[in-house]
Amino acid sequence: MRGGGLLVAGTTSDAGKSVVTAGICRWLVRQGVKVAPFKGQNMSLNSFVTREGAEIGRAQAMQAQAARVEPTALMNPVLLKPGGDRSSQVVLMGRPVGEMSARGYHGGRQQTLFEPVLACLEELRATHDAVICEGAGSPAEINLRRTDIVNMGIARAARLPVVVVGDIDRGGVFAQFFGTTALLAPEDQELIAGYLVNKFRGDVTLLEPGLDMLHGLTGRRTFGVLPYAHGLGIDEEDGLRVSLRGTVRESVVAPPLGADVLRVAVCAVPLMSNFTDVDALAAEPGVIVRFVDRPEELADADLVVVPGTRGTVKALAWLRERGLADALARRAAEGRPVLGICGGFQALGEHIEDEVESRAGAVEALGLLPVRVRFAREKTLARPVGEALGERVEGYEIHHGVADVRGGEPFLDGCRVGAVWGTHWHGSLESDGFRRTFLREVAAAAGRAFVPAPDTSFGTLREEQLDRLGDLIEEHADTDALLRLVEEGAPKGLPFVPPGAP
């Protein structure tokens, strides 16, 4: 096999495309197939830095890990990072190329990116046995089909067979499968090979009559019914919404080693980025991670995390409006732990000069750390390695803000004052020794009899999660049929489902 491919599309956003793509990648690599993930265009604030210093979606980095290959910019050539309701930063081949409104992007710029995106896909296909592509949203967004470079546009250009994933837990999956197919042009429908049901609970035999009727209506089969899987904790494409206040980050089910649990409250700031930074905390037995947006929810927290954000100045205003800024100041004065990461670190400083991200100019920050930040037009993208609390630490940096640290104890690239820490480094808590030492300091400052597990390996847990995804595909999908699709393309003679695209 060389240059095979498959596009995993979805009936909706969050149907499970990312995890299904990762699962197929892990299943294929376990069969000895050299496989790579691909997503032509991704919209996400959850990003990662590759070893060559390119910024890509974290979901594609996770899928690369599932495929056991090093992530590269080829796997996600276009990344859109929302900066508000109507504009995004456009990242092309891992580097920002400017801000653009949704109308401007879909009105012309997106079409100019089609050839570079297709070239990246073809380069991956030339060097791998198979490329498993992830779509975006739904392929049946008929208002956007003309400029599509991530769903049927790329599938038709590269002659990729398409499997459509539907989230049955939301309800209405049969209508979604049928309607998605029926809203596509005949040339697009030729590539829709069939469907994959995701997040099913219950007795699958009760579902089978519906799948048979769907086959009769569309002429397309269902390639599997994946059960609802708890506790996967795999990197997501989009940030948590503030409407999900109180959401608990999924973690391993294990009791604490000490007498106490450790409670972590994460401020759900606007345009939150890389909230996966706290996944390594949630992986620790006895650590409970919650996302919050009210000051009273910080009262029983042993550690408060102010996470990264695409809008530091906007996040500052939000913290003040919600009363969280005052609550953070009280915590600092009482010696209760606070950790700021990237934009959160900047917000904990004294002063921000921003003519780039918000264009707000001079803004006073929270004054909890002796740091002054100036936003530069050039984005810092790096994979630093260092030491903190006597432990080796690896991380990655994605920021326009340049920090001038004017005091405190050194802490990675930032500083520490009392129980307040700040750094630009994402991913630092995935370094097991550092995380354990940091949690011991937090527990001591919080007065908790919490003991970090001595053997928790975040990397091992992540591998186990990816293997679970591979197992879901292997055990609940028709893998022989999926492999034929990858090798041979969509079956010939698939029927047209009216009315088709208008």
Nearest to 304 by CA among 289, 284, 282, 320: 289
Residue 34 CB coordination number (10 Å) = 15
DSSP three-state, residue 394: strand
Find where tokens 């590759």 sit.
50
DSSP three-state, residue 8: strand
Cis bond leading into 499, ω under 30°? yes
Nearest to 278 by CA among 266, 294, 269: 266
**Contact residues for 361 (Cβ-Cβ < 8 A; gap 6+):** 353, 354, 355
Do residues 218 and 178 lie in contact, with contact meaning Cβ atoms separated by under 8 Å? Answer: yes
Residue 440's Cβ-count burial label (10 Å; 0-12, 13-18, 19+) is middle
CA distances to 54, 76, 286, 365, 450 from 257, in Å: 40, 41, 7, 38, 7
User: What span, in angstroms and rounded, lies between the C-alpha atoms of 469 and 451?
Assistant: 31
User: What span, in angstroms and rounded, lies between the C-alpha atoms of 267 and 344?
Assistant: 9
**Contact residues for 312 (Cβ-Cβ < 8 A; gap 6+):** 343, 346, 347, 352, 354, 357, 358, 373, 401
Select which of 128, 400, 426, 476 is catalytic.
426
For the chain, the C-alpha Rg in angstroms (whole number) is 23
Q: Is 426 a catalytic residue?
A: yes
- CA 37 to mean position of chain CA atoms: 14
**Contact residues for 334 (Cβ-Cβ < 8 A; gap 6+):** none
Do residues 132 and 38 lie in contact, with contact meaning Cβ atoms separated by under 8 Å? Answer: yes
| DSSP per-residue codes, 257-321 | SSSS-EEEEEE--TTEE-GGGGHHHHTSTTEEEEEE-SGGGGTT-SEEEE-EES-HHHHHHHHHH
- CA 179 to mean position of chain CA atoms: 28
Do residues 230 and 263 lie in contact, with contact meaning Cβ atoms separated by under 8 Å? Answer: no
Select which of 120, 133, 267, 342 is catalytic.
342
Q: Is 106 a catalytic residue?
A: no
Compute the residue count for the chain. 502
**3-state DSSP of 165-226:** EEEHHHCCHHHHHHHHHHCCCHHHHCCEEEEEEEEECCCHHHCHHHHHHHHHHHCCEEEEEE
CA angle 232-21-52, nearest 5°?
Answer: 95
Find where tokens 């042009």 sit.
185
Enumerate the active-site residues.
342, 426
